[in-house]
Structures are given as C-alpha cells and as structure tokens.
Structure 1
C-alpha cells in the first residue's frame, strides 16, 4: 500500500527555493529603490548654497551670480 509521501522526491524542498529567492530579489530591489529616492529627496542644501558654491568654484562669473541670485529672490 502506498502513502501520499511515497512519490515525493528527496529534492522536493528545492521547489520552494526558487519562489523564495525571487521574493527576496524583489524585496531587495524595492528596498534599494526607496533608499536611493529618499537620499535624493533629503538634500539640506538650499539653492542659494548651491549658487554660492558654484560662484566660489569659478563655475559662474559675478554677473551671472548676481543675476541668478536676484532671480531666485523673487
């Protein structure tokens, strides 16, 4: 007489490994996407700080700096 477990292979537990691995990959991907989005949103630097740094680094000249600063104050 056969039981319902007679036809189960000893490697049957590997069938569960694939869905678990897929779920882990999806979960990790969602975590990394959210982490990157939160890092981009939490910038404490104001536009004036960025403008000051660009002027200090020589990326823009004084005329452009003053024009942009005036435009941002509106």
Structure 2
C-alpha cells in the first residue's frame, strides 16, 4: 500500500510530515536572522550605537558665533540674536 500516507509519514518525510519541514525552515530562518543581527550589532557603525559617541548637532549659539567670527554679521546683529537665543 503506497498511498499518500506511508509508514514514514506524508510522502516519506518522516513522522512530522509537512509541519516538520516548515518548522525546520522557520528555525533556520530565525537562526540566520539572529546571527545577522549579532554581526551588525558587533561590527556596525559605532556612532549609531552609543549616543555619547555621536557628534552633537551644532547649537544655534555656536552657529551664531561662527557667523560673527567670519564677518557675516556685525556686532549689533550678533548681540541682538544672542540675546534672542538666551
């Protein structure tokens, strides 16, 4: 009797049949994703992982001081904008 169900399960795939095959693929998929995540975490960009390693964005006052130092704005405008920012 070699019908669809034999002594080895559905189509000879063993006792677990189709579900066993799906669970094996799912298990391998989870394992591969886990390994890829660990590799990315270990060897990824360190600037993206720790906030203290990131370069802080320039504050408005720093930009204003740079513009004044380059001569883009005069003293009166610098003082006015500095007071506005504080």
Which bin holds the TM-score, normalised by the shorter protein?
0.3 to 0.5
Which structure's relative contact order is higher, taking Cα pairs within 8 Å and 6+ residues apart? 1
Name the TM-score, length of structure 2 as normaliser.
0.42
Name the TM-score, length of structure 1 as normaliser.
0.47
